[in-house]
Amino acid sequence: MTTAALLSKGATFSIVPSGGGLVAVAELLTLNPAQFTRALLDVTTHDSSGATSDFITDGIYDPGEISGTVHYIANSTNDTALITAMTGGAKQDYSIVVKKAGGTATIAGSGYLTGPGGGGRAGPGRRPPPPAGPGARAADLIWRNRRSGNIRNLNAAKASSLNNQRRASDSLKRPGAHTPTCEAGPP
């Protein structure tokens, strides 16, 4: 069986600093693309059929995070650009270029740098790559894809309301749970 797998060597991650063009993040060691997710809301009621839970989709999806590891060299151009992106707090455009059969593909978007670290974290069973040169160490990056705060806040309120409804419903379903009672007054 043949495979469509390609080596990822040559992948680039670039950011657009304020007032500039795309600048490739140098010394990129690892790059993990975003994983899209969509939440489900539990809408189970007492009349749900078949004694099974019912769910609906949240209506919006989470574009996820892009993470990676770079060689960190203090006061380098890379270091300065990443610190500026983090401390500035502004949304920045980004571009990821990867190989595909017969050329390259570009994934572009906007996001926020939320976690430049300096620990060289490694996943389970992996060691961080060795730093390049004297004074270098591995640094982790977490780039949060853009998301509308208004939609998120509205969604959080909706989810909170549904969770409160579910908690009230769950307390009625649980054996031994407090059940409100009515007492008759004096005859």
Q: At 85, which CATH number?
A: 4.10.410.40
What's the confidence (pLDDT) of residue 5?
61
Asked if the model's pLDDT at residue 59 lies above 70, the reply is: yes
Residue 153 lies in a domain: no
Q: Which of 11, 31, 26 is nearest to 132 (CA)?
A: 26
Residue 44 lies in a domain: no
- Residue whose token pair is 């060299």: 73
Dihedral pair phi/psi, residue 24, rounded to 5°: -70, 135
Residue 22 lies in a domain: yes
What's the confidence (pLDDT) of residue 141?
57
Q: Distance between CA 158 and CA 79 in Å, rounded?
A: 40
- Encode pLDDT of 102-126 as tens digits: 888 888 888 888 776 544 443 333 3
Range of the domain at 33: 12-39+62-147
Planar angle of CA 58, 51, 160, nearest 5 degrees: 30
What's the confidence (pLDDT) of residue 65?
81
Residue 98 lies in a domain: yes
Residue 95 token pair: 């571009």
Q: pLDDT class for 149, splitting at 50, 70, 90? A: very low
Asked if the model's pLDDT at residue 161 lies above 60, the reply is: no
Q: pLDDT class for 154, splitting at 50, 70, 90? A: very low
Mean pLDDT along residues 128-134: 44
Asked if the model's pLDDT at residue 73 lies above 70, the reply is: yes
Three-state SS letters, 98-141: EEECCEEEEEEEEEEECCCCCCCCCCCCCCCCCCCCCCEEEEEE
**Number of domains the chain is built from:** 1
Please report which helix (H) or strand (E) contains residue 167, including its range. Answer: helix 149-173
Q: Distance between CA 151 and CA 153 in Å, rounded?
A: 6
What's the confidence (pLDDT) of residue 30?
80
